[in-house]
Amino acid sequence: MIAISHPFTLDTRTGTIAVTSTTKKLYLDRINSLLSTPAYKRPMRPNYGTDMFLALYEAGDDYILAVTEAITEALSIHLPDIKLISLKIIKPNSIGESSVELLVGFPDDTVGVTSVKTAYLLTNGTNVGDIY
């Protein structure tokens, strides 16, 4: 199977859209696409995505719990063939940046690691949440 590589880029050699056929990369791209899409923002498929963006406005343990629940729910609904083995959340630093690292299992019994970075809303209001 061949699919467009995520994030969307151009192949520097040919100038065409970058694609991948590696099974592991395809699954990791699907996870990254899912986690970087806010729920209810995709036309024709409004339930696709995650509510993780809402978690970015939580604080402390509530933030960790909300991110964990959002990721677990999104994977179980939209990518049920992928098994979440572990999820590690790095607490926000002084400028409000955090990251989430996922260890996942694929249907072919291989495993992969992916991560997303988030910007967290600080108590002084200097950083607004986003996922990248």
Instruction: Enter the pTM of the model.
Output: 0.76
| The pLDDT value given to residue 122 | 59
Q: Which residues of 87-103 are buried (b: 16+ CB within 10 A; e: fewer)?
A: bebeebeeebebebebe
Q: Extract the tokens encoding 125.
A: 């209001």
| The pLDDT value given to residue 70 | 92
Are the beta carbons of 80 and 61 closer than 8 angstroms? no
Report residue 76's pLDDT band, with 50, 70 and 90 as the boundaries: very high
Q: What is the pLDDT of residues 12-38, one digit of tens each?
A: 888 899 888 788 888 998 999 899 888
Is 60 exceeded by the pLDDT of residue 132? no
CATH architecture, domain defined by 3-10+24-131: Roll (3.10)
